[in-house]
Amino acid sequence: MDFRYLGKSGLKISEITYGNWLTHGSQVENDMATACVRAALDAGITSFDTADTYANTAAETVLGEALKGERRASLEIFTKVYWPTGPKRPKGPNDSGLSRKHIFESIEGSLTRLQTDYVDLYQAHRFDTETPLEETMQAFADLVRQGKALYIGVSEWTAEQLRAGHALAKELGIQLISNQPQYSALWRVIEPEVVPTSIELGISQIVWSPVAQGVLTGKYRPGAPLPEGSRATDEKGGANTVKAFLTDDVLTRVQELQPIAAELDLSMAQLAVAWVLQNPNVAAAIIGASRPEQVAENVKASGVVIPTELMARIDEALGDVVVSDPGQTAARAPQSRPS
């Protein structure tokens, strides 16, 4: 496993980061979820990403149980705040967003579920247009000073939002070091604006959906029935996240990547993960798994160098199905997940 610095900080994270958005606490039984986390640890993954909203807090609970007994200093645990959680959500007017009240209440719940005294990275799950950014960043700064979060990150922020948040963080003496956007060979909306701004500011990307919700594995074929048991057939949430990629044009183009993967002795999934890691502004690619063997396979993308000529062939193969308009956001992306 290779490691990369996160932003302009001294924090190193595993370039393959394990995430439990769609699986733990909802789609996968707890024993299997724990087995996947153990497989991640065995493969050298030290960084784990979750959020209080995943499976309505259950994902944090499962992750906390799975990591119990591990040496805390050897792990990097990331979680997020923004969306409402709880059995009767939303329960009140302050149960979502990035107000000081919601941030302070949310961190306590996350720490309890994760069974830890602090998180390495606490992330704003979206930008809050209703709360003054000064209030949000002051709350984050106070959590850092209290030792409940070591670093601050965000998710799906625009270049302009990153610049404003970074400036306030600097004034407050804390580090805003990461952004967590959707990014894959098919979905490149961060490249024109977010990445150049992030490089300037010293912010890294921790990217989600590097395999485009499974589409870049090649298992979905043009004109063929959806594979039984795949994410596209899961009505509990997975189907909505992948359906916009399931056009014959996209699927036909994706099949053209198979010879490139074979030339590198990689699976299609490994090629997809390795592709995002070629971007020097990407500190980590988040992978999920419903079976331990999936983790073992995906980590083989760590350390892979794709030659320039093959990167060009990937661009040529995918052609105009690639989405790169910076005006696109996660809210309008092929999924509406809280990343």
Active site residues: 54
- Cα angle 104, 204, 94; round to 5: 20
> Please, are residues 322 and 186 in contact by the beta-carbon 8 Å criterion?
yes
List the beta bridge partners of residue 108.
none
In the numeric block, which tokens belong to residue 87? 């059995």
Segments of the chain assigned E as strands:
3-5, 12-14, 16-19, 47-49, 76-81, 119-124, 149-154, 176-179, 204-207, 282-287
Q: Which of 15, 12, 5 is nearest to 304 (CA)?
A: 15
Which backbone phi and psi does 47 adopt, to 5 degrees?
-110, 135
- Cα angle 50, 54, 10; round to 5: 15
Determine the straight-line distance between the first and last CA of the chain, rounded to whole angstroms: 24
> Please, are residues 285 and 216 in contact by the beta-carbon 8 Å criterion?
no
> Please, are residues 154 and 197 in contact by the beta-carbon 8 Å criterion?
no
The dihedral through the CA atoms of 222, 225, 228, 234 has a sign that is: positive
Q: Which of 102, 98, 161 is nearest to 125 (CA)?
A: 98
Distance, in Å, from the CA atom of 288 to the CA atom of 231, rounded to the nearest integer, reads: 12
List the beta bridge partners of residue 12.
5
> Please, are residues 129 and 160 in contact by the beta-carbon 8 Å criterion?
no
Q: Which of 98, 153, 82 is nearest to 120 (CA)?
A: 153
